[in-house]
Structure 1
Amino acid sequence: MEYIMNKTLLAFSLLVSFGSSAADFQGRDATFLENAAQHMISVKNYDSGENAASTFPHAYKFTHSYRISHGLLGSGQDVLSPEVLKSDKQLDFSKIMITDIDGQMDLNTFLRDRLKNHSMVVVNGDRLLHEHYWNNMDEHSTHLMMSVTKSFTSMMAAIAVSEGKLDMSKPVIHYLPELKGTAWETASVQEVADMRTSVIQKVSKHKSWDDRMTLSQSYNGDTAGDYPRGVTDYFPLVTKVETKMGKKYTYQCVNTEVLGKVVEAATGKRLADLIEDNIWKKVGLENDAFLMSDHVGGAVASGGLNAATKDMARIGKVLMNDGKNYLGEQVIPSDFISGLLQGDDNVRSAWKLSKEASLADGWYKDQFRLLNVGGYSILAMVGIHGQVVAMDKASGTVIAMNGGYPMTETPRMAISLFHKVIPAILDAVEH
């Protein structure tokens, strides 16, 4: 009983520390967990490749989370109605051909059977060119976005910069002095955002995180006894770097968790509230989203967003519209988007030293990738099981998709998505 009371007090103190909240904090869905158990799925194994198809549309129910409102029902605030996309479904995926190891097949077959795709929406300007929802999903279903979440954490940092609350050139410890003595003591906020810290962690094959980090986040169980303050208890365990700070791009989820805490410290607001106020209530989205968290309310800044596929396409459309929503209102700073598209010498040179450089020319900046493939420059938000928002500025095309590819961070998945599927769709849009 004392343990439960202490845990509750910790959660309450975190919520109060950021003032009145907008996004509702909630615990695991006990009824859903009971049903999942009948199918041999639990908190410990829901995110495995075997269970991805069943669990990714419902992932937030396995953890603590925030409900992020799109603001239409009972908000008492002036918010946007959903943007209505003009139906112009000219893309026939049954006629777009993809080559795989055994020859050609249509894009629908390749997506469904080879990439384990669950949904896709293709938008060009305000035209809806294609949408499909498989795996018992529909246009209102949320889906775990995995590391697409990272880009949203970075967008909140960019908005804080535009408001004069955050300086990306300052040391991380300016905002988080408790990280003195850790690997981030000499890192700037920008180096963290660009994944140019190369901190040393205990990382297993096909992972970009230390299992102790996800344990601290209660991602696969309740470990409040070992990590009473959630993910912040993990940071002091990381004390060394592989190479000179800022030199090499190394994709590591923990950097985004640090960035999320920096944003919260700089703004005095919870990450979930920032995403709700700055994106979900300003873009013109149709569905609520969910942001997974640890047991004390620490948002999973690197991979916890659960959102509807069409809403993700709408957000991609804002990025391709220089940060403006469909009413012409500035939502995301335009100079931030320009920086993503243009890159800089630091991120270009850092990319060349990374393992991803062999797959594509490009860079990683502010939690986004810019990939030059198939004759296109694709700005991308990417998740490890086939969650992608791919944007082509030249044509104004956005491809939002979700999937449950059974393995993470494999070259085959990356090649299939970025060298085959996305260029094929963009070719079809052009012709």
Structure 2
Amino acid sequence: MKKSLIALSLALTTAFGANATVTYHQPYAQMETNLNAYGAGVENWEEARLTQFTMADSHLYHHHAVIPAPIDKMPIKVVGGLDVSSIYIDDVVPGKKISLYDVMRDRASIQNYVVMNKRGEILAEDYWNGTDKETKNHLMSAHKSFTSMALFIAQEQGLLKLTDPVGKYIPEFKGTKWENIPLQNFADMNAGIIDLPANREGYHWGDFGAGTSGSWDSSMPSVVGYNGLVINKEGKLVPKPDALGNLETFSDYLKAFAAQIEPKFEPGFAYEYKDLNTEVLGTAIVRSSGLTLAEFFDRYLWSKGGFNSEATMYVNQVHESAASGSMNATVRDFAIGAWLMVNGGKNFKGEQVIPKAYIEQIINGDKIVKEAWDKVSYEHGIFPTAFYKNQWRTATHPVSGRTLSTMIGVNGQYSAFDHKTGNIIAITGAYRQPSGLQMVSLYMLDTIFNIFDHLDK
């Protein structure tokens, strides 16, 4: 690796301060080399065809922040009692059955999972595709739910208010139609973000996913280091140029977005899944606290929540992270995130970590988010009995009536809790078809609801 790159990375870390608990790291060159043998690397790692190579420990081929393992860890006890290989469901071939173990490992391309009860005991877990208990799985958009936890913690700390207009924290939106939209609308993804800037030519997500332009445009993740950093002609470490040009910071992106895109609807009218909503929330956290996103997580969430292991986030050259999908964590810690929700936001010592009101809003929803669900997004066609609140989806099974709330990532990252029993399932997948009917059927209907039903018998 080039000496100038190493020197710059060390300088950035030193400039932050020697006493920092969060540390910042360069990509591991050997990891990139190993991936290149399969045609994969930091430039194209999120392509669906490559996910089974790239979802585990993906921070290692990115510039990344490491959030240290907490001192106070939630005790983990494996009690067993659930054998997914003994659960059979109807196969697609009439008259045949298939074990849930085979469905999860083979058809759903699940990399690992944990089933936990409300007491924090592990009832079942499996690790496939070379992963283990310490593998840091890329959480994709399930990171959004952790960001929303941090957002409400920031409100509890008096740093911001969800009723505040976004322009208070995003001056790049001043003088535009975005300026006076409350933060809460961005938390519920009904702020009116429908259209996005154009993608770079050949961008592999294309128009997949939602509305008119996918869930994000190619420039937004690029500017926060999602596809690596480069040395420019001046010898400076910067994000790769993209459709909007040579953007160096997320502020540059916000200015470019606001200059060409306006809200499509009035705030609250239509739910539409756009990652920029979450990035607005992350920016509000960062600017109101004076901390990077990784540092805020470390101080207020990760160190207090009873998580067991390190977590990581991709970063750019100024330590900005995507709030909507840069986090990597073990599947056990992914489960602990939902366990905190089940236990009213309190950690294993009974200390309040996540505001209780935040959890109640997610469980119950409200009239606005329920009416906004079917206005634009394709999601209501797949799961009509659902709503989106505070960066979580809450869904009721159309037959059994069982209700769960879940974090969701695009390639099968779920951490769900059952409203009735408090049981928890955390799954990190590498499903090669992002989102859509097949993934929802395999992960939610065949696996998650099925296991919750089985445990409830």
Q: TM-score, normalised by structure 1?
A: 0.91
The equivalent of 1:59 in structure 2 is 58
What is the alpha-carbon distance in structure 2 between the residues aligned to residue 54 and residue 417 of structure 1?
Answer: 20
Structure 2 counterpart of 1:398, from 424, 432, 439: 424
What code does the residue aligned with 1:187 have?
Answer: I
Deviations 1:222-281 (A, max 9, x none): 335644433332222322222222210000011111110011112222111111122221
SS at match of 2:143: helix
2:28, 2:175 → 1: CA distance? Answer: 38
Distance, in Å, in 2 between the alignment partners of 1:323 and 1:365 is: 16
Aligned with residue 256 of structure 2, among 225, 234, 237: 237
Candidates 370, 377, 391, aligned match of 1:367: 391
Does the alignment pair 1:184 with 2:210? no
Q: Answer yes or no: is the 8 Å Cα contact 1:182–1:237 preserved in 2.
A: no
Query: Residue type of the partner of 2:318?
Result: V
- Which residue of 437, 441, 446 corresponds with 1:415? 441
Count of aligned pairs between the two proteins: 418
- The whole-number CA distance in structure 2 between the counterparts of 1:196 and 1:70 is 35
Q: Is the 8 A contact 2:222 2:240 kept in 1?
A: no
For 1:251, the aligned partner's letter is Y
SS at match of 2:56: helix
Matched to 1:365, the amino acid is: K
Q: Which letter maps to 2:269?
A: K
Residue 22 of structure 1: CA displacement? 2.8
The answer as to whether partners of 2:412 and 2:435 remain within 8 angstroms in 1 is no
Decide whether the 8 Å contact of 2:423 with 2:452 is kept in 1.
yes
Structure 1 pair 70–97 and aligned structure 2 pair: CA distance change class (3 A): same
Asked whether 1:351 is paired with 2:373, we answer yes
Report matched runs for 1:244-263 at 5 Å: 244-263=266-285
Q: Is the Cα–Cα contact under 8 Å of residues 140 and 413 in structure 2 kept in the other structure?
A: yes
Is 1:342 the counterpart of 2:364 in the alignment?
A: yes
> What's the TM-score once normalised by structure 2's chain length?
0.86
Do the aligned partners of residues 162 and 15 (structure 1) sit closer, same or farther apart at CA in structure 2, a change above 3 Å counting?
farther
1:98 and 1:421 in contact (8 A); partners too: no
Distance 2:207 2:180 in 1: 26
In structure 1, stretches of 5+ residues that fail to align are 72-78
Partner of 1:98: 89
Distance 1:262 1:40 in 2: 37
Partner Cα distance (2:163, 2:301) in 1? 25
The 5 Å alignment of 1:218-367 reads 218-222=225-229, 223-224=239-240, 226-238=245-257, 239-353=261-375, 354-358=377-381, 359-367=383-391
Judge conservation of contact 1:65–1:293 (CA < 8 Å) in 2.
yes
Q: CA deviation at 1:196?
A: 0.6
Question: Runs of 5+ in structure 2 lacking a partner?
Answer: 199-205, 230-238
8 A contact 2:144–2:323 mirrored in 1 = yes
SS at match of 1:57: coil
Rounded to whole Å, the distance in 1 between the matches of 2:177 and 2:20 is: 32
User: Quick one: which amino acid aligns to residue 209 of structure 1?
Assistant: W
Q: Please tell me the residue identity of whatever aligns with 2:133.
A: E
Q: 1:16-62, CA deviations, whole angstroms, 9 ceiling, x for partnerless residues?
A: 5x997431122222232123223322222222222211111121122
Contact map agreement 2:192 2:264 (CA 8 A) in 1: yes
CA distance in 2, matches of 1:70, 1:104: 42
RMSD of the alignment, in Å?
2.4
Letter in 1 for 2:137: H
Tell me the equivalent position of 1:74: none
Change (3 A) 1:229 1:13: farther
Q: How far apart, in 2, do the equivalents of 1:244 and 1:228 lie?
A: 29
Equivalent position amino acid for 1:204 in 2: D
Between stretches 114-123 and 88-97, larger displacement belongs to 88-97
- The secondary structure found in structure 2 opposite 1:67 is strand
Mapped partners of 1:336, 1:309: distance in 2: 23
For residue 142 of structure 1, report the CA deviation from its aligned partner.
0.9
State the AA in 1 paired with 2:104: L
Letter in 1 for 2:68: S
Q: What's the secondary structure of 2:353's corresponding residue? A: coil
**Alpha-carbon distance change, 351 to 357 in structure 1, aligned in 2, over 3 angstroms:** same
Contact 1:227 1:234 (C-alpha < 8 Å) held by counterparts: no
Which whole-Å deviations, capped at 9, do the CAs of 1:154-197 have from their partners, x for residues lacking one?
Answer: 11110011122111111110112122255632321001111012
